Amino acid sequence: PSVSCAPPFEAASPIVALMSLRSCISLAVLLAAVAVGYLLGTTPNIFGKPSGIEGDSADDIPSWPMYTLGGMMGDVLVQSRTLLPPRFHVAMLSTAYWQSEVLYTLAKWGIFDAIEAATSSSSIYPAEGGTSATSGLTSCAVIADTLGELNADILCRYMRAGAGLGLLTMAPEDGRVLSPTELRFGLTAAGKLLRAVPGGMRDFALYMNEESRDAFRSAGLSSVSSGRSGFVEAFGEEHFAWHEHHSETQQRFDAVMTSLTPLQVTPLLGDWKPPAANSTVCDIGGGQGHLLAKILQQFPDTRGWVADQSSVVNRSTAFLKSRGLGDRGTAVAIDLLAPLPQELAACDVFVLKLILHDWADKQAVAILRNIAQIARPGARLDMVDRLLGEGSAMEVADGWFQDLHMHANHGAKERTLAEFQDVVRRAGLQGEVQPTRLRAAMWLLQVVL
């Protein structure tokens, strides 16, 4: 007889349903344990740094076996949704925004920075009566008093919820013994990323929960009938045009792109090489030049260009000089939808990192055609993007949400391999798209020009 983990929530008693749920969870844990044992037993350097990249950046990506294991565990989590009672499942999805609202509130008010300041100064809480369990932590009452305009009780409840999300440490850990204002808090590794520091993710959290959230909501309410992007519906202009004349949010968007560098650039460099040791690398739409800088550092005989809109070029030039790369890296102004400057004809490889998913098919074809018109025969096109429907179950599901995000913000989309091949063909390129999986839910898609 067949064995099923499908929970009989609708037809059986709660006890039978609970037994079914426990048995399925036990089975999932057993399978995960077998996978861990297999990987540990067959991969001697499973915890070592990847061989494809050197230096501290290698710590930002796992080895391939560990990445594969993470995908397997993610698949278990995705499948576990089918074990939830339907009403509970719907309730969880309906209230999922609670988590991002807590994160946003704490980041917006600078709570993470205030905690760091309080716990690194001579006025560290606790005061008289503190214990070793609470030393090095501070109270939300201290934070509210420091910031001067917050209600201590409400703030404490937000901070307690933040501890439940793993953003803060809390003593006592269960939060049941003391009233909210008597709890003590510190920063977790995730919480430290939400401070207002270079390379942190506070700007990302604010961006995703302000203009990006508004665009997503407008997409659901208006775009489904108008066909326009959610950003146009919410702000009256497309994403990049709007940011060009809103300097504060443009600077924040630049910081957002910087904060994502470890998640995007490091995995690419773990499995990417230039065509030759002395290649000229051109990062098209490369922003301030973080990817190009990493490439030039990793491959010291290469030279390169970072090409982006004119409003970014001065910052790109300053950034490359600040990294000591001004003699090997150059910034040039381009319009992605217009012919490229003649200087880029020297490129041995054109890199498009997460560029095409910002554009609908018509514009994506134009971008590729502009590259094809200036590239020398035999040069390489390296697109770094998601492949819709590929990877682990968690990557596939996440891709569907990312696809909606790209529509909401840019009127664009994620693509399947067949859809990438289609835009390549329509741009007049004859080479086949060769996909290589990367360790970041992204793929390297290469075409010989």
Q: Is the per-residue pLDDT at 211 higher than 70?
A: yes
348 Cβ contact partners less than 8 Å away, ≥ 6 residues apart: 274, 275, 276, 279, 280, 281, 379, 380
| Residue 172, pLDDT score | 82
Give the separation between CA 204 and CA 352, rounded to whole angstroms.
Answer: 21
Q: Is the per-residue pLDDT at 421 higher than 90?
A: yes
Give every strand in the sheet of 443-448, ordered side by side.
Answer: 329-333, 303-308, 280-284, 349-353, 380-385, 443-448, 434-437
| Residue 13, pLDDT score | 47
Distances (CA, A) of 81 to 21, 90, 329: 11, 11, 48
Is residue 216 classed as helix, strand or coil in its secondary structure?
A: helix
Q: State the average pLDDT over residues 301-322.
A: 95
Residue 236's CB: how many other CB atoms inside 10 A? Answer: 9
* Residue 406 structure tokens: 């790209």
| Residue 83, pLDDT score | 81
What's the pLDDT band for 6 if we cut at 50, 70, 90? very low
Q: Convert the pLDDT of each residue in 111-122 to its tens digit.
A: 999 999 999 864
Give the separation between CA 232 and CA 217, rounded to whole angstroms.
Answer: 12
Q: State the average pLDDT over residues 327-355.
A: 97
| Residue 57, pLDDT score | 47
199 or 368, which is more confident?
A: 368
Q: State the average pLDDT over residues 202-226.
A: 97
Q: Convert the pLDDT of each residue in 9-59 to its tens digit.
A: 444 444 444 445 555 555 555 555 555 554 544 443 444 444 444 444 444
Least confident segment among 22-36, 250-264, 275-289, 306-320: 22-36
Q: Is the per-residue pLDDT at 110 higher than 90?
A: yes
* Residue 272 structure tokens: 């990417």
Q: Convert the pLDDT of each residue in 128-139 to its tens digit.
A: 334 444 567 999
Segments in 245-324 forming alpha helices (H):
247-259, 261-270, 290-298, 310-322
Give the separation between CA 10 and CA 332, rounded to whole angstroms.
Answer: 63
Give the separation between CA 182 and CA 274, rounded to whole angstroms.
Answer: 57
Residue 97's CB: how many other CB atoms inside 10 A? Answer: 12
Sequence-ordered strand ranges (E) for 168-268: 168-171, 184-187
Is residue 303 classed as helix, strand or coil in its secondary structure?
A: strand
Cα atoms in the 13 Å half-sphere on the side-chain side of 316: 28
* Residue 284 structure tokens: 């098209």
The identity of residue 7, as a single letter, is: P
Q: Quick one: which H or E segment has residue 351?
A: strand 349-353
Give the separation between CA 144 and CA 155, rounded to whole angstroms.
Answer: 7
195 or 121, which is more confident?
A: 195
Mean pLDDT of the chain: 85
| Residue 355, pLDDT score | 97
Distances (CA, A) of 324 to 7, 266, 315, 321, 328: 60, 20, 14, 5, 9
Residues 138/185, Cβ–Cβ less than 8 Å: yes
CA dihedral 363→228→386→204, nearest 10 degrees, is: 110
Residue 418's CB: how many other CB atoms inside 10 A? Answer: 11
| DSSP 3-state percent helix, strand, coil across the chain (nearest 5) | 55, 10, 35
Q: State the average pLDDT over residues 185-207.
A: 95
Q: State the average pLDDT over residues 138-149.
A: 92
Least confident segment among 57-61, 99-103, 172-176, 246-250: 57-61
| Residue 149, pLDDT score | 85
DSSP category for residue 60 = G
Q: State the average pLDDT over residues 189-209.
A: 95
CA-based radius of gyration for the chain: 25
| Residue 14, pLDDT score | 45
- CA angle in degrees (0–180, nearest 5) for 241-371-230: 30
Residues 319/288, Cβ–Cβ less than 8 Å: yes
Q: Is the per-residue pLDDT at 422 higher than 60?
A: yes
Q: Is the per-residue pLDDT at 196 higher than 70?
A: yes
Task: Please state, for a pLDDT cut of 70, what percent of the chain lies above it.
Answer: 82
Q: Is the per-residue pLDDT at 275 higher than 50?
A: yes
What's the pLDDT band for 174 if we cut at 50, 70, 90? low
25 or 389, which is more confident?
A: 389
Q: Is the per-residue pLDDT at 401 higher than 90?
A: yes
